[in-house]
Amino acid sequence: MEPKPFPTLETERLTLRRMTQADADGLFVLYARPEVVKFINLEPMRRVEQAKMLITMFEALFESGRGLRWGVFTLEEGHLIGTCGFKEWDPRRFRAEISYDLAPDSWGSGYMREALVAILDYGFHQMKLRRVEGLVDPEDTRSHNLLTGLGFRMEGVLREHDFIKGQFQDDMVFALLHQDWEEDNQKLED
Ligand SMILES: CC(C)(COP(=O)(O)OP(=O)(O)OC[C@H]1O[C@@H](n2cnc3c(N)ncnc32)[C@H](O)[C@@H]1OP(=O)(O)O)[C@@H](O)C(=O)NCCC(=O)NCCS
């Protein structure tokens, strides 16, 4: 069977598409910002080669069927302002983990919410996900607001679940079920 092509998604203000090595400069600018890597196990990037390696890792994620990572581009100018996607995809259990980042200059405009609505719709309908999880640092209040605003529920805390930049960190578990998503969308339509 032919593998599915990488999906391009369009929203009111954004294009979400596969990143290629031609996007390395844009990705480097994004990941050179300390605010963007604050809650993940990466130091701010110093060389564009690191962005090229990350794109190769995103390609491998897709090719291996373990997830998808979209580049988030402005629809009009085509600027890379962030990334988002699914990882730890387990099709047999119909679940995956969501993850995302946005350039700080673009915070506070609803861009990531808009991007996540599109990929959640793709995840629940095309990938047939039943449950999407988000593991979030307790201090990452922007993520808490983003996920709860989309209907995710906080289910508990995994103590010392992560080891980031030499420190053990708790993870808050947020989850959204397909049925929650459909019920919320139904309420919006009524
Ligand atoms: C997490 C992250 C993506 C959130 O970014 P964000 O800009 O706060 O999120 P959104 O794009 O959904 O925007 C929401 C904000 O836009 C405002 N907004 C403006 N116009 C809006 C619109 N049309 N629709 C929705 N919200 C809008 C909201 O009021 C909210 O602002 P507030 O936080 O001041 O109340 C960002 O902080 C980030 O990249 N952090 C670093 C990476 C990270 O922590 N990733 C998590 C690890 S998995």
Residue-wise pLDDT tens digits, 37-53: 999 999 999 999 999 99
Task: Using most ligand atoms within 8 A of CB, pick from 109, 152, 172 the residue to mutate for ligand 1.
Answer: 109
Inform me whether the pLDDT recorded for 19 exceeds 90.
yes
Distance of CA 131 to the CA centre of its chain: 15
The predicted-structure confidence for 92-140, as pLDDT tens digits, reads as follows 999 999 999 999 999 999 999 999 999 999 999 999 999 999 999 999 9
The predicted-structure confidence for 164-176, as pLDDT tens digits, reads as follows 999 999 999 999 9
The predicted-structure confidence for 57-98, as pLDDT tens digits, reads as follows 999 999 999 999 999 999 999 999 999 999 999 999 999 999
Ligand 1, atom 6: closest residue by C-alpha: 107
CA atoms within a 13 Å half-sphere pointing along the CA-CB vector of 35: 12
* CATH of 9-189 among 3.40.50.2300, 3.40.1260.10, 3.40.630.30, 3.90.320.10: 3.40.630.30
Inform me whether the pLDDT recorded for 2 exceeds 60.
no
Ligand 1 proximity of 112 Cβ (cutoff 6 Å): yes
Query: Ligand 1 centre from 3 Cα, in Å?
Result: 33
User: How much is the pLDDT for 3?
Assistant: 65
Average pLDDT taken over every residue of the chain: 96
Sign of the CA dihedral 43, 98, 55, 111?
A: negative
How far is it, in rounded angstroms, from Cα 157 to Cα 165?
Answer: 20
Q: In degrees rounded to 5, what are phi and psi of residue 103?
A: -60, 135
Q: In degrees rounded to 5, what are phi and psi of residue 54?
A: -65, -40
Instruction: Provide the percentage of residues in the chain whose pLDDT is more than 70.
Output: 98
User: How much is the pLDDT for 77?
Assistant: 96
User: How much is the pLDDT for 4?
Assistant: 78
Ligand 1, atom 19: closest residue by C-alpha: 109
Inform me whether the pLDDT recorded for 152 exceeds 80.
yes
Ligand 1 proximity of 39 Cβ (cutoff 6 Å): yes
User: How much is the pLDDT for 190?
Assistant: 74
Inform me whether the pLDDT recorded for 158 exceeds 80.
yes
